[in-house]
Structure 1
Amino acid sequence: MKRQNRNIGFFFVITGATFWGVGGTVAQKLFQDFQIDVEWLVTARLLIAGSLLLLIQYLTRDRKQIVEVWKNKRNAFQLLVFGLFGMLAVQYTYMASINHGNAAVATLLQYQAPIMIIVYLLIRKQMQLRQKDFITVFLSLSGCFLLLTNGSLSTLSVPAPAIIWGILSGVALAFYTLYAASLLAYFDSLVIVGWAMIIGGMSLSFVHPPWKMDFLSLPLEGYVYLIFVIIFGTMIAFWFFIESLHSLSPKETSLIGSLEPVAAVLTTVFWLQEPFGSFQWIGTACIIAMILFMAMSKEKEQVLAD
């Protein structure tokens, strides 16, 4: 029975990570071939996926938490901040980076968030720089340099707006990671993320209402891509990742979770035929190596602490 649970866990995390990565590439397809507006897609994605996550919480877990999170003023305020400056910021900056560049670069730039967290904690004097941090920073900066320049100091291989939005996406993800910790200590992740998505989606609705789109002009293929991004690339991806934690260790989920940038790069290059230079492949390998190194180091620290 335990072996069966682990197999299910591996299925969940592999599927979830792959959906996350491929979802960004499919969003790029929507922007390029169907002229879908970034604001509209982010709004629809957040509102629908958030509502479905809360529905899953209601049907399968402690449904009281859906309302209880709003009863305490401090929790309610934190949730609003998280929804606006965490969830909405991460989703919008990531999609904007894809729109100006491509899903591969946007995903890899977003994965610079751990470096930003290290810098923040150093400034706050909440940690000391260790040898593993030097390795992490070196892999990250080397990977970014090669990814964005393809080994040439004279030119950028990626449009500047895509780089700026991608870096901002990393900053937003760092805030998202740090700020949510106190809320997740008391409430299920489906509750916090579900409400945060709805808050972000409702806020962006004032900029681009989800009902203001020419639905009749969108072909069937476009609707298939939309469903994938919203349902599979957002709701199911997050839900499956959370479910995998019930039968796998954090190390296993973190390591297999590195499939996300791999899936984004492979589908961007081979499906959308985006050009990718040899030095960019080396940069991608450096960033993925950084993710794996951090995951393994974190697990080792946990074992020593236990």
Structure 2
Amino acid sequence: MPRLTSSKTVSGFIMAISSAIFWGISGTCAQFLFEQKQLNPAWLVSWRLMLAGGLLVGIAFLQKNSDAAAIWKKPKDILQLLVFAVLGMVTVQYTYFYSIDLSNAATATVLQYTGPMFVVAFYAIKNRRWPIMLEYASLFLAIGGTFLLVTHGSFSSLVISEKALLWGFLSAVALAFYTIYPVVLLRKYSAATVTGWAMLIGGLVLSVWTQPWEVIGVWDIGTWSAFLYIILFGTLIAFYSFLTAVPVIGAQTASLLCSVEPLAAAAVAVIWLNVPFGGLDWLGTLFILITVVLLTLGAKKEGAKKLEKSH
């Protein structure tokens, strides 16, 4: 990896952090569209996936040594792509946006960030090993952070609905699947190709149910601004920036920097939409972000050990 002082590495850090901020703000834009412009989460997700997916596929075709068409040559790869598009891409997008609709962008984003714990659980079961001490500490922090976020420290009541909590955790499980499942495809094809096609296919499949050609909600300058932000900055530019940063600074470092996303979502939701977010909410958010940091650093350390053993 290039030294931290190199301009290329610095630009990689900036692009990773920018993508996280763009994603966080897009969640708040979605809350604005649901609360004030009466848009439907599934309708918005279908348009987001189709438009951003189409643009990403176009970018993938324009890349040098493009593999955008090659992914359709092997039946096994096609099947994996279709599964990822429907069970990965559509599910992670819909559960997240619906969770926002039921609660708010800040809470939904933080709850989704408990997803890495499900990834840890999956690999612990798959590899038939007990979690290490760092993973136990992360689990404790994740549970504690979630408890503070959804109860404000009370054992007798929730500050969000049970339905919102359920869909928040479904969003986290979907994020875990989204993280784990496409690994094999990503070893064969570029991230732009896999992500772009998955978005486009997922959006088309979802459109059968949502019928996006039927315009809903109140459309004015505010609606168009938030809608276009979600498509361009919150999806296309965010994903492209992240995918550009990964080869420069590494996937784990880029993922670690993306922990900024819940903070961006919370800050913008509080400032723009006046979402109540008190001290215990921020403390719960901090606990969950520490969980992500610990797991990412632990994975990085484990990867370094494997590399040393291979030499």
Query: Are 1:29 and 2:66 an aligned pair?
Result: no
The 8 Å contact of residues 83 and 200 in structure 1, kept in 2 or not, is answered as yes
Percent identical: 38
1:62-101 residue pairs with structure 2 within 5 A?
Answer: 62-63=65-66, 65-101=67-103
Could you tell me which amino acid in structure 1 is paired with residue 241 of structure 2? Answer: F
With normalisation by structure 1, the TM-score equals 0.95
Report how far residue 55 of structure 1 moved: 1.1
1:36-51 residue pairs with structure 2 within 5 A?
Answer: 36-51=39-54
Q: 1:197 to 1:126 in 2, by over 3 A?
A: farther
Report how far residue 289 of structure 1 moved: 0.8
Q: Which whole-Å deviations, capped at 9, do the CAs of 1:222-260 have from their partners, x for residues lacking one?
A: 101100011110111111001012321344323321111
2:205 aligned residue: 203
Could you tell me which amino acid in structure 2 is paired with residue 115 of structure 1? Answer: M
Report how far residue 295 of structure 1 moved: 1.7
Moved more, 263-272 or 142-151: 263-272
1:139 aligned residue: 141
2:266 aligned residue: 265
Report how far residue 125 of structure 1 moved: 4.3
Output the CA distance in 2 between the equivalents of 1:122 and 1:214: 45
The 8 Å contact of residues 70 and 76 in structure 1, kept in 2 or not, is answered as yes
Report how far residue 122 of structure 1 moved: 3.1
2:180 aligned residue: 178
Report how far residue 208 of structure 1 moved: 1.4
Q: How many residues align?
A: 304
Could you tell me which amino acid in structure 2 is paired with residue 177 of structure 1? Answer: T
Query: Are 1:243 and 2:239 an aligned pair?
Result: no
With normalisation by structure 2, the TM-score equals 0.93
Which 5+ residue runs of structure 1 have no aligned equivalent?
none
Output the CA distance in 2 between the equivalents of 1:185 and 1:87: 18
Output the CA distance in 2 between the equivalents of 1:58 and 1:167: 36
Report how far residue 147 of structure 1 moved: 0.6
Report how far residue 214 of structure 1 moved: 4.7
Which 5+ residue runs of structure 2 have no aligned equivalent?
none
2:302 aligned residue: 301
Output the CA distance in 2 between the equivalents of 1:108 and 1:26: 16
Q: 1:272 to 1:94 in 2, by over 3 A?
A: same
Could you tell me which amino acid in structure 1 is paired with residue 129 of structure 2? Answer: M
The 8 Å contact of residues 250 and 299 in structure 1, kept in 2 or not, is answered as no
